Amino acid sequence: ADLIEKDGYAPWYDGFESFYVRRLKIRIDDCFARPIHGAPGRYVKCFNRIRHGKTGYLYDGTSNECLNLSSYNYLGFAQSNGVCTDYALGCVDDYGTSACSPRAISGTTDLHQKCERVIADFVGKEDAIIVSQGYGTNANLFSSIADSKTLVISDELNHASIRFGIRLSGASVKVFKHNDTKDLEKLIRNQIAQGQPKTHRPWKKIIIAVEGLYSMEGNMCNLPEIVEIKDKYKCYLFVDEAHSIGALGPGGRGICDYFSVDPARVDLLMGTFTKSFGATGGYIAGDKYLIEKMRTNYITQVYSESVPPAVMGQIISSLSVIEGTLNPGEGQERLQRIAFNSRYLRLGLKKLGFIVYGADDSPVIPVLLFLPAKMPAVSRMLYDMKIAVVIVSYPATPLISGRARLCVSAALTKEDLDYVLQKFNEVGDQIFLKFSSGIAGGS
């Protein structure tokens, strides 16, 4: 009750909290924020906890080493691995652990400049700017490129950081049905119809905002059709590649690489270093003049600390491995492994009879659980079997489509995945998660 009202003041928590109050809340909490120790690689060491009182946990210091399908570690760079770790450690020796200043003051090291060059070349754009946080990259981007005369047309399932950034910019927003290019085109035509002839729109500019790979659905945006629409109606296109950069495409260069779309057709390619590179921070890659402008008007460049230089070292070295200039052959091996693992696990789960969302090549594999009460059960049963997965639920998903989200990694072996399939099968049978007797083959 104290969550709901205190001494006549409005409650601090509503929405999520009020939905999950009562006995389910403590069990739902068991799915989240379990402290870990060490690098989140193939395995992750999680601290055991027991319930304490009505709302808390006690930790006795013991831990459980779990197969890790809970961290974003698509290419396996998060765990300690030879050349990258050596390079990053060398950067700590040379640069310390912090640049001690925002980029626009004295926090731009030569490593930041090198990293921006490397990522721009990798994604096929003229220039790039690095920001200290992926969320902050999106949250502050739109204020620097949009205003009240701008219309942003946003996919309904875009990440919270994109939605927040658009709202903050004061731009008008229209939302189209998830990945539905017919709805997108209809919306643009309606907007254009309101404009004057020739100026063709009441808007100074229209920006279409989508993600390369949707992190809750595990599907890719329909980029080939979206670039056609963008060209036809002379809109700008922004693509968030947080989950696709490094993880998709024969060269790991993301969604353009995956669909063989020329990156020149996408105006702004945004990405984060947190998923495929074992690092932190985000970037925007685009035309030189635009990125140059951002170096002064992107507020995080001015008001927020730059990414620690050693993190730049981790990004530069992992990108060099992917491109094959460092440890030739290893990058391709990792890319092939993530492609194989993604398809193998997804198909295996489908064969067992689970309902799985998304595309075959996606390293994000959402397994539908539907009932909120099954979420803590799945999380706990798998944890006891030494498998760590993420549970995603309302408000990140619709109320009745909570899911276990498996993030595949190149660090996992086929034997690991067979173990996961076997244990999922057992859990699925025990708590009635399977919705058919499975598919015979194909996907």
Number of H helices, E strands in the chain: 15, 14
Residues at the site binding ligand PMP, with contacts judged by CB under 6 A: 133-135, 138, 159, 161, 211, 215, 240, 242-243, 272, 274, 282
- The CA–CA distances, whole Å, from 74 to 25, 79, 179, 379 equal 31, 11, 23, 21
Residue number, 115 or 326, with CB nearest to ligand PMP: 115
Are residues 207 and 152 in contact, defined by beta-carbon separation less than 8 angstroms?
Answer: yes
CB of 122 to ligand PMP, least distance (A): 17
Q: How many residues does the chain have?
A: 443
Q: Identify the sign of the CA torsion 120, 125, 127, 130.
A: negative
CB of 34 to ligand PMP, least distance (A): 18
Residue number, 68 or 425, with CB nearest to ligand PMP: 68
What is the pairing mode between strands 390-392 and 402-407? antiparallel
Residue number, 274 or 342, with CB nearest to ligand PMP: 274
Distance from C-alpha of 242 to C-alpha of 271, rounded to nearest angstrom: 4
Can you name the residues that pair with 57 across neighbouring β-strands? 51
Give the residue at shortest CB distance from ligand PMP.
134
Residue number, 192 or 364, with CB nearest to ligand PMP: 364
Residue number, 161 or 425, with CB nearest to ligand PMP: 161
Residue number, 125 or 201, with CB nearest to ligand PMP: 125
Instruction: With H, G, I as helix, E, B as strand and everything else as coil, classify residue 215.
Output: coil
Residue number, 158 or 191, with CB nearest to ligand PMP: 158
DSSP annotation string for 59-111? EEEEEEEEEE-SS--TTSTTS--HHHHHHHHHHHHHH-S---SBTTTT---HH
CB of 235 to ligand PMP, least distance (A): 20
Distance from C-alpha of 368 to C-alpha of 27, rounded to nearest angstrom: 18
Helix axes 414-430, 374-384, angle to 10 degrees: 130
Find the angle CA(305)-CA(310)-CA(311) to the nearest 5 degrees. 70
CB of 163 to ligand PMP, least distance (A): 10
Residue number, 21 or 160, with CB nearest to ligand PMP: 160
Instruction: With H, G, I as helix, E, B as strand and everything else as coil, classify residue 356.
Output: strand
CB of 219 to ligand PMP, least distance (A): 13
Distance from C-alpha of 370 to C-alpha of 392, rounded to nearest angstrom: 11
Order of strands, sheet of 390-392, starting from the edge strand that comes earlier in the sequence? 364-370, 402-407, 390-392
CB of 50 to ligand PMP, least distance (A): 29
What is the pairing mode between strands 205-211 and 236-240? parallel
Distance from C-alpha of 230 to C-alpha of 210, rounded to nearest angstrom: 12
Residue number, 154 or 425, with CB nearest to ligand PMP: 154
CB of 283 to ligand PMP, least distance (A): 10
CB of 207 to ligand PMP, least distance (A): 16
Q: Which helix (H) or strand (E) holds 336?
A: helix 330-352
CB of 92 to ligand PMP, least distance (A): 21
Residue number, 213 or 294, with CB nearest to ligand PMP: 213
CB of 247 to ligand PMP, least distance (A): 12
